[in-house]
Amino acid sequence: MTDPLSDIIALLRPRTVFTKGISGAGRWGVRYGNFDHPSFCVVIEGACRLAVDGQAALKLEAGDFVLLPTTPGFVLSGFEPVIPVLLDPHASAQASGEVRHGRQDGPPGVRILGGYFVFDSEDSGLLVSLLPQQVHVRGVERLSVLVKLLIEEAAERRSGRDLVLARLVEILLVESLRLTQAPDAPPGLLRGLDDARLAQAIRQIHADPGRPWTMAELAREAALSRSAFFDRFTRSVGVPPMEYLLAWRMALAKDMLRHGEIDIPEIAERVGYASASTFSTAFSRHVGQPPGRFSKRAVEKNGGTA
């Protein structure tokens, strides 16, 4: 059975860039500005406070896992009142070894393992737009084990390192996200997939993106009237059904164009367009440049030739 969440994560091809240890003791607090890259952390021991901009503050305890798909500004601190020290997240990301905040001697009040990753694909916005801004999972040993494996692998230079890291990050993403899949989740893909009727329509879109889907056909897949399907899909996923279909088709098309191995007429057919010209018009409107130019620039960027 088609798995839309796995489809999207596999298309984005996430890879680990950096991991590090963080600890704090005594009276301490730091504020990071917007970072944009997805980041994560797992609390190894102790506890601290995390306040992400626009979200309710969290008390993080040992075993807690947090994923921030876009990593907006946030404050990380102990529990005593403090004016946080401002830090540049991009500069901090280059630091090596464990970073210690607050009192430098004695045992820490909290120890955290954290890191961030980027997507090889330029379509990270597709995933991010469908995910909650903050994912917090408590007491799931499976996630802690995955993060520890990821950090150990990142620290080594063994054969196959890049492949192992990419797979670990993919598993980490899927595991953490499916644990937050619930009817009361924020609008997005996870909430849509938790709705059995909407999930059927979403899976059909992913299973056969080249089919000339209509609103009526997708509504039938969901066993709903057109109006009920439109309202329910838009409310749960955050975008109308046909807009989601278009976004997924364009993401697939861009992925094929980047590799430069399939000609435009065939790509057009695979993503549901009757002709290359119709596809080119839709692609140009959605992406801001015609598919031929997009493909040429992408192939050149990757060091190949069109």
- At 96-113, the pLDDT tens digits run 678 999 999 999 999 998
Specify whether the CB–CB gap between 2 and 203 falls below 8 A: yes
Do 106 and 46 form a contact (C-beta atoms < 8 A)?
no
Most confident of 181-190, 286-295, 296-305: 286-295
Q: What pLDDT, on the 0 to 100 scale, is given for residue 300?
A: 75
- ∠247-124-126 over CA atoms, to 5°? 25
pLDDT digits (tens, 9 = 90+) for 158-195: 888 878 887 888 888 888 777 776 677 778 888 898 89
Q: Do residues 95 and 32 touch, judged by C-beta distance below 8 A? A: no
User: What is residue 302's predicted lDDT score, i.e. its pLDDT?
Assistant: 66
Please check the confidence at residue 70 and state whether its pLDDT lies above 80.
yes
Average confidence (pLDDT) over 137-150: 82
**Buried b / exposed e across 199-230, counting CB within 10 Å, b at 16+?**
bebbbbbbeebeeebebeebbbbbebeeeebb
Contact between 32 and 76 (Cβ < 8 Å)? yes
- Distance between CA 16 and CA 118 in Å, rounded? 7
pLDDT tens-digit readout, 268-283: 999 999 999 999 999 9
Q: How far apart, in Å, do the first and last CA atoms of the chain sit?
A: 35
Rounded to whole angstroms, the Cα distance separating 117 from 139 reads: 23
Q: What is the pLDDT of residues 12-52, one digit of tens each?
A: 777 766 778 899 999 999 999 998 788 888 898 999 999 99
In 34-130, at which residue ranges do the beta strands (DSSP E only) sit? Answer: 39-52, 58-61, 65-68, 74-77, 85-87, 99-102, 110-119
Stronger pLDDT, 218 or 301, i.e. the higher one: 218
pLDDT at 5: 83
Region 47-71 average pLDDT: 92
Q: What is the pLDDT of residue 122?
A: 65
Q: Is the pLDDT of residue 124 over 90?
A: no
pTM to 2 decimal places: 0.75
**Please, which residues bridge with residue 115 across strands?**
19, 40
Average per-residue pLDDT for the chain = 87
Check residue 306 and give its pLDDT. Answer: 43
Cα distance between residue 51 and residue 283, in whole Å: 39
Lowest-confidence region among 4-13, 49-58, 209-218, 290-299:
4-13
- Of residues 140, 189, 168, the one with CA closest to residue 4: 189
pLDDT for 305: 46
d(CA 186, CA 143): 22
Contact between 9 and 34 under an 8 Å Cβ cutoff? The reply is no
Highest mean pLDDT among 119-133, 164-178, 239-253: 239-253
The more confident residue out of 279 and 157 is 279
The DSSP symbol for 84 reads P
SS3 for 249?
A: helix
Q: Regarding predicted confidence, which is higher, 134 or 28?
A: 28
Stated length of the chain? 306
Nearest Cα residue to 272 out of 199, 192, 210, 217: 210
Angstrom distance (rounded) from CA 22 to CA 113: 6
Q: Which two tokens stand for residue 194?
A: 């938790």
Write down all domains in the chain, each with its CATH number in brackets: 4-178 (2.60.120.280), 189-239 (no CATH), 243-301 (1.10.10.60)
What confidence category does residue 304 fall into, taking pLDDT thresholds of 50, 70 and 90?
low
| Other beta carbons less than 10 A from residue 189's beta carbon | 25
